[in-house]
A and B are shown apart, each in its own frame.
Chain A
Amino acid sequence: MARDRFTGVGLGLRRPHLEQVAGMEGHGVPFWETCPENVVGDGGRAHRLACAILDRDPVLTHGLAMSVGGYDPWDEEYLQGLEQFLLRTGTPWHSEHLCFTSVDANCLHELFPLPFTREAARHTISRARELQARLPVPLLLENITYYAGLGEPDMDEADFIAAVLEGADVGWLLDVNNVYVNALNFGFDPKEWLSRMPLDRVAQMHIAGHKKFGGLTVDTHGADVIDPVIELMQWTLARLGRPVPVLLERDNHIPSLDALLAERERIQRAYDQVLASTEAGHA
């Protein structure tokens, strides 16, 4: 199966590194993740370099602006381009965020939390099923970082996410940094939180750095991953007992490619270590 190619720790493909990556054969990165919104309909030198890499190396796709929990109609032109792009890359699945990003056709370019209510869950399930029917590959939804709940909740975040994943029957892109950041901001135990979740639905994980601003921790994707988040990744992988691909995200304060490759290797070692222990335990 194509998805068996995707194990280990991959990297987000970022504009400042395109030139260098396009010229590297032995970069050691098992797969890249790319945002289709930044590629579909674009042109020019960076676009050509990105396409050359995506045609050469294994790729997973991760969308930013689909507004799965929103009410705006799908952008039909973009959906057509997305379908072609997903087929071209050969990605085994496509992920979007469990959030809304636009209201009344105004794109806000930020990931906003959905209300943790039964009504919002029903609506999002319906939208996710609709979107899944339009995609040529399975849809995954990613849990986001949030800084405030939207309105008076009927349930907590964990129940909301589980309800949507189960109701829509989609896979889960589990962002362990988002769980960790939410745990810091809302004061819960991330392992206890994960223990309540449908981990059998996890097909991919994200890991990233964050930063504290005053009393709030923000998911900046702008710093190295801290050890407790790596440990949470290992704890989850051990629970899963299977080598789901992990993607290291870095979107701000993007370091040199060499530095990012070294950071990837650090996380890959932690990944390999826990999977070796899991296998030894099964032997």
Chain B
Amino acid sequence: MSDDSNQTRVTLLQKLQTNQDDHSWDDFVRYYEGYIYIVIRNLGVGVEDSKDILQEILLKIWKALPNYSYDREKCRFRTWLCVVIRNKVYSFFKLRSSRNSRLNVSYDDLLQNLDLISDAEIDKIAETEWQSYISNLAWENLQDQFPKLAKEVFEASLDEESNSVLAERFKVAESSVRVYKMRIRKAMHKEIIRLNQELGG
């Protein structure tokens, strides 16, 4: 994916691994919280439980981070994250199920489901959610740079391929649609590559 020439650059992830102070904690939370949250949700956890569990997992990962050896060939960072998340979610519910068995929520079912998620599936969740997360993050970072109309046309273009239909809908020339799309796409590509590298994709 990224070039070898970039290997020498210290990425945000590498900084977080070596610099464990308050300032870097804030950075860590800012950049990874969202991703960890979606993965938790993807494991079938409800909104309320997810909020509870998120803090615990953030902390656990923060502690484990210096021990994670960055070796892309063996395991991607995002896969490692997901395995940690899964294990944490698992023990969280194990605790819950034995303590609060009288509650309505059937934690046993959840645990069973979690058990069933294989490594390959973890990989897949890690991958798709990472892509979605990074792309959305990129869009968040960028969107204010573009005029409102261009933004709207671009967002719509993700669902609608035909330039002529978009031109019709937004009452602009087809050529403008093409230009908006091309400009934003290119900017997005750059930003996605940057974020992906910084965050250890």
Q: Do A and B come from the same complex?
A: no
